[in-house]
Amino acid sequence: MRCPLETPQSVPLLLAFVAHELDAPQTAAMAEHAAGCSACREWMAGMGGVHRALDAWEAPPVSADFDRRLFARVEKEVSWWDVVLRPFRPATGSRALPIAAAAGLLIAAGLWIGRPGAGPVLSVPASAQMEPLPPDQAQHALEEMDLMQQFSQMVHSDPADPRM
């Protein structure tokens, strides 16, 4: 038998074994597997402890006015807007705090939108990635860059310029 812990579809079989809900052949097969599989034995022992704890648990008694209080809470209709704004309402009922919060948000949005020089972050294409060069290749690349700069200056220079 393949270990039920290795196949997620077989976990309900383990749960049924621990709850004593399997028929005799399945119970015998699971017991035989558990005798040779320490992982399943450990898992079953843990689940057995959970079952024993749940069996021993007793729910506290419900108060006599529980239903009345529950239905009163259900009938009290509160809009989602009231729930969202409740922390911003002071106990005195003043509207100053929500107005101040809205003004602060508008100022923050204005500063965020009007940032000079802030643009989208561009990702570097894979072709622009830099790799370290050996010293001789770096020296050769620098010489070529210097040669290209000199050539560029000669091409874009003024013919009337006596320096050239």
Where helices occur in 57-95 by DSSP H, the ranges are 66-75, 80-85
Q: Is the pLDDT of residue 140 over 70?
A: yes
CB neighbours (10 Å) of residue 34?
Answer: 19
Q: Is the pLDDT of residue 164 over 80?
A: no
What's the average model confidence in pLDDT over 106-125? 71
Q: What is the pLDDT of residues 11-38, one digit of tens each?
A: 888 888 888 888 999 889 888 888 888 8
CB neighbours (10 Å) of residue 44?
Answer: 19
Q: Is the pLDDT of residue 148 over 70?
A: yes
What's the average model confidence in pLDDT over 114-125? 61
Q: How far apart are CA 122 and CA 63, in angstroms?
A: 63
**Percent of all residues in the chain with a pLDDT value above 70, rounded to a whole number:** 78
pLDDT at residue 130 in the model? 67
Q: How far apart are CA 153 and CA 164, in angstroms?
A: 10
| The amino acid at 63 | S
Return all residues near 157 (Cβ < 8 A) that are at least 6 apart: 163, 164
Q: Is the pLDDT of residue 64 over 70?
A: yes
pTM over 0.85: no
Q: How far apart are CA 66 and CA 77, in angstroms?
A: 19
Any idea where the domains of the chain sit in the sequence?
A: 4-56
pLDDT at residue 158 in the model? 62
Distances (CA, A) of 51 to 12, 18, 138: 15, 8, 71
Distances (CA, A) of 6 to 9, 20, 29, 115: 9, 21, 16, 55
The confidence band for 62, taking pLDDT boundaries of 50, 70 and 90, is: confident
